[in-house]
Structure 1
Amino acid sequence: MTDRDQNHLPQSVNQTGVQLPIPEIGMALAIKDKISSDGPMRAKMGWGGARNRRDRTSCYLSRKQCEGLIEAAQFAELIGLGFNRHWTVHYEKAGIVELDAPQFIGHLLKLVRDYARPKADRFTALWVRESGEGKGGHVHILMHLPLGRTMRGRTCKWIRLAGGTSRAGVSHVVSIAGRLAAADNGSEHYRHNLAFVLGYVLKCADIVAGEALTLRRFGERAYIIGKRCGSSQNIGSRSRLASRAIAECL
């Protein structure tokens, strides 16, 4: 992520938020011991996460959710599918109500995955919903889309096909670490930028999670109805456990 791109990310924390210094090599790397260095595996594509009730409400990300998202991001990099794009979709501005947001997001990401074919197994993603005054309901999506698959000129169509209305300010895409190929290089620069972006999407972690995981920014309240976060199944908890089991048998 370039300095110019970082200007799009608000730096201040609201009155309930807390900031801690970001580790030198990034928060995601600092928690790397939470997963083992297992080999890659091919997993069923789909959307993981708990089967939350449609009307369940929450105001913060739990520690379990934060750890799951961090591990998913690390596993994506481990199997060579580190996130190369940060896509923000303001679904409320697109006419999607909170109750319908999880279904909208799932449909949206299925369209992106289908676009990645015949390399759909090379697509990974995690997402976190937020809300707030002046912004309304929106979702942050970190994804790996194969090189050669551009999102330019397609996001508006996907939003419409998923049931939303495309208009100015609904969609915003930036490359992580400034260029798409950075994820394939796996440099310290890329990993530091990924840690920064991952820390940003975890800013609604509750106080317990934020302090336990030494997050740079946490405690920001966002009222959400329904599923709050998720990931593609190929980097979800079952895939990570299966990969460990395979590695232990080798």
Structure 2
Amino acid sequence: MTAHWQKGGVDARDCCTATGEFIKRARDWMRRHGYRLGWAWVQEYGQGYGAHAHMLLHVPPELAPLFAPMPLRWAKDILPGAYIKGVIDTKPIRGASSAYSEPDLYWANLRTKLHYMMKAAPPELEAVLGIQGWGDKPWGQYCTVHGKRAAEAQWLRKPG
């Protein structure tokens, strides 16, 4: 999903806070439904989009229909004014609904999203994620962001 925070009236300096609040709401929602949320996000600033965040949120297929309306609800609560169409853009990763029956399709599309989000990742990290050598990513590598550029659920990290 992409949250076009600045388009929705959030100051570019506050987009990291808005993304953090969004993730907190998603994490709390998942916890109430008996799951832990796996997530990662990256902040960017684009000429046409302003300050925005790309997010990956892992929602189990059985919760997807219940989860679907929540991002819009949370964004409306977080934005300083009225919701503007297009601030939240959600798209499930191709193959997500059949991840158990078609894991190759799901993982190929997840890696494509990671490749897009990790524009300035070092080759060593790309290798760990299986996206090394996928080509140059000239878009978005040199934009100014305020606060953290990226974050992920800490419990997803391997110790050591």
CA distance in 1, matches of 2:34, 2:116: 27
Q: How many matched pairs?
A: 149
Q: Equivalent residue of 2:31, what SS? A: coil
Among 93, 97, 108, the alignment partner of 1:181 is 97
Q: Which residue of 2 aligns with 1:44?
A: none
- Structure 1: runs of 5+ lacking an equivalent: 1-86, 243-250
Q: Determine if contact 1:116/1:123 at 8 Å carries over to the other structure.
A: yes
Q: Which residue of 1 aligns with 2:154?
A: 233
Task: Kindly state the Cα deviation for residue 233 of structure 1 after the two structures are TM-superposed.
Answer: 1.7
Flag the structure with larger Rg.
1
TM-score (ref. length: structure 1): 0.53
Q: Alpha-carbon deviations, 1:170-216, whole Å to 9, x = none?
A: 011111114x333344621111111111111123x17xx36984243
Q: Equivalent residue of 2:148, what SS? A: coil
Q: Which has the higher contact order (CA 8 A, sep 6+)?
A: 1
- Cα distance change of structure 1 residues 186 and 228 upon mapping to structure 2, 3 Å threshold: farther
Q: Which residue of 1 aligns with 2:89?
A: 172
- Cα distance change of structure 1 residues 153 and 98 upon mapping to structure 2, 3 Å threshold: same
1:148 matched to 2:63: yes
CA distance in 2, matches of 1:164, 1:202: 29
CA distance in 1, matches of 2:2, 2:34: 21
Q: Which residue of 2 aligns with 1:137?
A: 51
Tell me the C-alpha RMSD between the 2 structures: 2.4
Judge which range, 100-109 or 183-192, deviates more: 183-192
TM-score (ref. length: structure 2): 0.79
Task: Kindly state the Cα deviation for residue 121 of structure 1 after the two structures are TM-superposed.
Answer: 4.0
Among 6, 24, 29, the alignment partner of 1:115 is 29
Percentage identity across aligned positions? 27
Among 102, 108, 112, the alignment partner of 1:192 is 108
- Cα distance change of structure 1 residues 131 and 103 upon mapping to structure 2, 3 Å threshold: same
1:88 matched to 2:5: no
